[in-house]
Every structure is written in C-alpha cells, then in structure tokens.
Amino acid sequence: MKAIGGEPVGIDLRPFVEAAKLLYEGPWVAERWAAVGGFVEENPGEVFPVTRKILEASKGWDAAATFQAQYRLADLARLAGKVWTDIEVLLLPTTPRIFTVAEVLDEPFQTNATLGKYTNFMNLLDLSAIAVPAGKAREGRARWGVTFAAPAGWDGELLKLAARFVGEPACDFSKAPRPVVPVVVCGAHMEGLPLHWQLAERGATLRSRTKTAPVYRMYAMPAVGSIPTRPALIREEEAGAAIEVEVWDLSTADFGDFVSRIPGPLGIGKVLLENGEELPGFIAEPRAADGAEEITGFGGWKAWLASKQ
C-alpha cells in the first residue's frame, strides 16, 4: 500500500470483529431459516449437511433476544463508524487462515466464523468491499488475499484502488453501458424538426429509423395558442397504415423527465413497429382526432410537412 501512496494508520478493530461474530452467534441466520426453514424440514435430505446444520441451529432465537442483538449491532456500528474520521479505507486480510474441506465438514460453525473474521461484518455494518490476491501463504501452496473496505457507496473508488494494488488498468466507468429506455417519436421530435432539441439536450441516441405496423392512423391537430400543429398517432386495426417513426434511446432518468413534459392529448404508450416490437412511444387519445386533418395517406409527419411547402 505504501508503494501506491497509502499511509498506515492504526485503528481499533474490535467493534468490527464483534459485529462479525453476530452473523453466526446472533439471530441473523434465523432470517435464512424464515425463508427456507419449511423446505428444510420437509426435505432434509435435499439440503447440504453443513448448510442444514447452520440453519437448524438458528431456531432457538426469540423476539426479545433478536431485538437485543439488533441494539448491540447498532452500538457496534456507531463505534465502528468513528474510524472513518481518521482513515479512508480499511486494509485487512481476507481470511485469517485457510481450512481444508474436511475441517469445514467437521466443524462448519467455527470454521466459517473464523474465515469470516474480517468480512462477516461487511453487510451488517453497511460497508462496501473488494478482495484481491496478494501472494501465497508461507508454505507456498495456497494463495491468500487482502480486502479493501470503505463505507457504502464507495464501490467505484475501491475498484480503482484494487486495480492499482494489483497493477491492472483502472476501471473506466465512463464506458460502462447506461440503462436506457427507447422512445418512438413520430412528429416534431424527429431529427431535423423543431422539438428535436428536447431529445438532444438529454443525450438521446438514435436507435433506428423505421415504420410502425400498418395499424395506425395519423392526424394533424390544429394549433392551439402557443402550441403549434402536432401529429396524433392513433391505433386502428381496420383502417390503419404504416407510419414513419424514429426510435431514440434515453437514460431512465431523462426518459422520465421527458415524458413528464408531454402535453395532452398526447402521451406515451406502447407503439407496435413493423418488425413486431412494441416500444414506448408517442400515441394520442381518440379525442385528438376531433377537428383534426387526417394525414395517414402521407405515411408520416415529415412527408405531410413537405407537401405543405
């Protein structure tokens, strides 16, 4: 750690170790029993013996003891939380030692508790952590590692630190794919038209230019006040046609913001495309056709606009 700029600071690890003990010595295993206990009792032979032994040992906890354990954990969390005023990251052995399979089968509770001495408190104390290789044990037969831990939400920084520690390139989170929601547009939000800026300023990316399935009619709604003429896409199976549309991808947050600003009688619903996909997109209430000019025959909003020039 010193080689990559770390400065060692001694801390009191006892609150962390005490919290780790609660995982197996406290009522938290009973939470697992609450989830799968019925299955274990009805199918004991279907459960790995070590797992069954650990789960069955949790049945003795009553409500009062559970609350006492929760209060104890809260006290330990307050004590442990004080270390973050002096340090930025915890550097710990991932395990105190390594057990053979036979040793684990012989004493599952103690071996698991020992293996988790420096990790069993992570979830209980709401920490983020990453384990990395750090060499081999003295005998040279088994590898060992260290764990970097920090408060919840520091996952990205821990990944970068771990990469530096092992000499690997740092993670570039800017290249991670963002969750997106597609939106089908059929009017002024199409590229080159007056409202496309509302997509552009939200970082929308074009997925495709395509057509709807031949089940839609399009109307040009008259301008009202400051609202210009707009298209209304209404589904009608019998007299519909394929309409030109564009599909744009927005982040989930930007999609919600974009949709919240759409004035009626337009809205967002599922639009059926010619390839069979149903994607979120602009549709209109049936009342949008009242007093509007039907322009279905033009095959799209841009074609209708061109006819007016």
Q: How many whole angstroms separate alpha carbon 269 and alpha carbon 282? A: 6
Beta strands in the chain (DSSP E): 90-93, 127-136, 143-151, 180-185, 205-211, 216-221, 230-235, 244-251, 266-272, 278-284, 293-294
Q: How many whole angstroms separate alpha carbon 94 and alpha carbon 136? A: 13
Of residues 11 and 143, more confidence is placed in: 11
According to the model, what pLDDT value does residue 13 have? 92
**Is the pLDDT reported for residue 126 higher than 90?**
yes
| Domain edges within the chain | 2-26+61-175, 180-307
pLDDT digits (tens, 9 = 90+) for 227-269: 889 999 999 988 899 999 999 999 998 999 999 989 889 999 9
- Please give the distance of CA 117 from its chain centroid, rounded to a whole number: 29
According to the model, what pLDDT value does residue 140 have? 61
Q: How many whole angstroms separate alpha carbon 92 and alpha carbon 145? A: 9
According to the model, what pLDDT value does residue 209 have? 96
Q: How many whole angstroms separate alpha carbon 205 and alpha carbon 201? A: 11
**Is the pLDDT reported for residue 283 higher than 90?**
yes
Q: What does pLDDT average to over the chain? A: 89
First to last CA, the chain: 70
Segments in 174-251 forming alpha helices (H): 197-200
Q: What pTM, to 2 d.p., does this model score?
A: 0.53
**Token output for 19:** 């919290």
**Is the pLDDT reported for residue 86 higher than 80?**
yes
CATH number of 180-307: 3.10.490.10
